[in-house]
Amino acid sequence: MSLPDAALAALPRTRSWIGGREVEGRAGLAPATDPATGEPFAAVERLDAEQAGAAFDAARAAFPAWSATPVRARARALDALRAALLAEAEQLARLVSREQGKPVAEAWAAEILPSLDALAHLAEHAEAALQDEPVQAHSLLQAHKQARIVRVPCGVVLAITPWNFPLALPLPIVATALAAGNTVVLKPAPAGVLTGLRIGALARRAGLPDGVVNVLATDDAVAAALAADPRPDKIVFVGSTATGRKVMTAAAANLTPVVLELGGKDPAIVCRDADLDRAAQGIAWGAFVNAGQTCASVERVFVEQAVAEPFLAQLVERTRALRVGDPGRAGTDLGPLTLARQRTIVVEQVEEALRRGARCLTGGAAPDGPGHFFPPTVLAGVDPAMRVMREETFGPVLPVMSVPSPYGLTASGWTRSEAIAARLQRELQAGVVTINDCVASFAEPAAPWGGIKASGIGSTHGRLGLLEMTQPKFVSLDRGRGAELWWYPYDRELEEILATTAPALHARTLRERLAAQLRLLARRRVRERVGLRRLLGQLEKLF
């Protein structure tokens, strides 16, 4: 909605956070719009490209001290961040509801509680996950060295996050980066920017050092420039597959490593022995939670023909009972879609499916009136060529049919059989597979989160997500004196030692290996450099 400059200037303003302070934006004001009414309720001061780039410099300046902070102290900082979030949880839940459109109860369940849990989990487990990993030498000639793998932070992490979960997506990513010793530049989506900017305020309230967390309000053109900037050391992007490809292309110019958590066309598989009541109830929630605007939403159902009719009957009954309306009102199950353009995509996919012969069992048309509402919709009689079966819908539409897909974010199976459950867990091609449940694994902070195929690269949660925010460094300590066996000068004796080492370690029979090992031990040069005690400690390699 376009507002006169005077009306926009009269709205409450919000600013970016760079270097621990709020920064006045030079690129004009942008409205924050309530998707339930279409009315602006706040104004955001946008940064220009130069201002946004300055956040990298602030993060770089803060990095040496923060990365040198012991992990235990960083964990205490995350606990302080959790306390700050808890103190503002009620206001944040209502802000999320008003800015993004999900019901307040869902804001608590899907945004506040998962964020608190993620902070608690990191604070408790980061130190153990980041401990050095001893490495025992496989090479007998290096058995005298002490080696380990240490985890070091990447540096400055750029996080670009979407609008559908404006708190629960960016905050755990920021916290994971901080736990690993990185500093962060966060660029939230414009449609969730008010909530995203609150993360900067929370970091300030928690006492995090200046520059450790920077949060930017910019337009999408500036966001593209951030991804192409050579200053970040890692980029974490959460969003559509199409935009993820652009981010990866931009990052490739600087060889900046990326983690991509992208879209999904996630299936649910209902087997003939499934508890149909539980399956219908769970799949209805998995399809329509957050008005279907979830990368892990159930967007297709594979149902066995033997139970298709009773399953559809229960699914439609559950769907029709859902209450659509003002997300700030208690009792609302579904709010509006966040963006008008997203509703347009939903409408186009449904209309195309109906033109090609699909049957709408409930819902199916956008209502008149204000806001970006669309009713929860169940389609049957679909075919694989329809857009609703091939493309991510990201809205409250559920087609029921089995088709192949290039996506692989999550999948769910519904069955009473342990054998079938085991087969589904083993054979489904997805980053997350749940049995008799769906979507909820995102709220488990110990579970890794990430996709395969067109759904992304890498992980953003759990121990694997924490390790993504580090670089492995192999370190080796040699306390010996004198030259290594393989150093200059090369002479006849060295040739003979190395030639004997090969059969000593790799001959097919024990007799051949023992004979060569005895010849090695007869060499004074070997005994002095490698050490008889260490050789005896490596007997498993010898035999």
Q: Which residues are catalytic?
A: 261, 295
Q: Are 459 and 465 in contact (CB under 8 A)?
A: yes
Q: Is 519 left (phi over 0), alpha (psi -120 to 50) or beta?
A: alpha
Query: Around Cβ 431, how many Cβ atoms within 10 Å?
Result: 22
Question: Phi and psi at residue 135, in whole multiples of 5°?
Answer: -125, 120
Q: Are strands 266-270 and 298-303 parallel, antiparallel or unpaired?
A: parallel
User: What are the DSSP E strand ranges found in 391-469?
Assistant: 397-399, 407-408, 410-414, 432-435, 452-453, 456-457
Could you give the CA distance from residue 331 to residue 201 in angstroms, rounded to a whole number? Answer: 31
Q: Which residues have a Cβ under 8 Å from the Cβ of 389 and sit 6 or more positions away?
A: 300, 353, 382, 383, 399, 401, 403
Query: Around Cβ 354, how many Cβ atoms within 10 Å?
Result: 18
Hey, is 360 helix, strand or coil? strand
Q: Where are the alpha helices (DSSP H) in 134-219?
A: 170-179, 193-205
Q: Which of 109, 124, 216, 211 is nearest to 168 (CA)?
A: 109
Please give the torsion angle defined by the CA atoms of residues 292, 293, 295 and 296, in that order, rounded to the nearest 10 degrees.
-30
Hey, is 289 helix, strand or coil? helix
Could you give the CA distance from residue 523 to residue 528 in angstroms, rounded to a whole number? Answer: 9
Could you give the CA distance from residue 30 to residue 362 in angstroms, rounded to a whole number? Answer: 37
Kind and range of the H or E run holding 184: strand 183-188
- The residue type found at 335 is G
Q: Residue 4 is encoded by which pair of tokens? A: 């006169």
